[in-house]
Amino acid sequence: MSNGMKFAGQVVAYAVFMALIGYLSTSPAYTHLADDKAMIKLSFAHYGKTVGECRERTPEELARLPPNMRTPMDCPRERSPITIELDLNGEPVFATVLRPSGLSRDGMAYIYEGFEVPAGRHELEVRMRDDVTTEGFDHVKTVQVELEPAHLLVIDFRAERNAFMLSR
């Protein structure tokens, strides 16, 4: 095959490739949300409370332990699962129990969920229990929100403030 034929074949192949890339960059049209919808994202990472209290070890227990493990206090590592619920206008939208991560179940629990909702004014209530020793919910936030079409509302939990935060 001559060099001219190879060059012509490369030009044709590149032209087809560029036309394909050009077509796929504009078509098919992608619409993130419908014109009358908004998005609520529930996204955070949180440590549940430890499942038990620390206790002091007896002198007999300390004597049975290797010297490098003789700490006077025995504290559990396992964390509580986190129960989370989200209501929109009094109707349940989402409910789950998040398990702590890690081999000893002592890590954070993670959530990242999105909900497509109608745009407009809504009453939003988010509830969380992060302690298995309590009844009901430890953290509750109820707010009125105005969601514009194609608007994104993110619900986060900030441990340093011990409260849910909403950001737009």
| Average pLDDT over every residue of 82-90 | 95
Q: Which residues pair with 141 in a beta bridge?
A: 126
Are 50 and 79 in contact, with CB atoms under 8 Å apart? yes
| Average pLDDT over every residue of 85-111 | 94
- Kindly state the tokens that stand for 128: 């969380």
Residues 138 and 101: their CA atoms lie apart, in Å, by: 21
Residues 111 and 131: their CA atoms lie apart, in Å, by: 17
> Measured over all CA atoms, what is the biggest interatomic distance in the chain, rounded to whole angstroms?
91
Residue 13 is inside which H or E element, if any? helix 3-26
Residues 8 and 64: their CA atoms lie apart, in Å, by: 83
E-assigned strand segments in 89-150: 91-98, 109-118, 120-129, 139-147
- pTM here is 0.73
Residues 154 and 134: their CA atoms lie apart, in Å, by: 27
**Closest-CA residue to 79 (of 129, 43, 126):** 129
Mean predicted lDDT score pLDDT of the chain: 91
| Average pLDDT over every residue of 79-96 | 95
Q: What pLDDT is attached to residue 148? A: 92
Residue 30 confidence (pLDDT) above 80: no
**Closest-CA residue to 42 (of 137, 141, 132):** 141
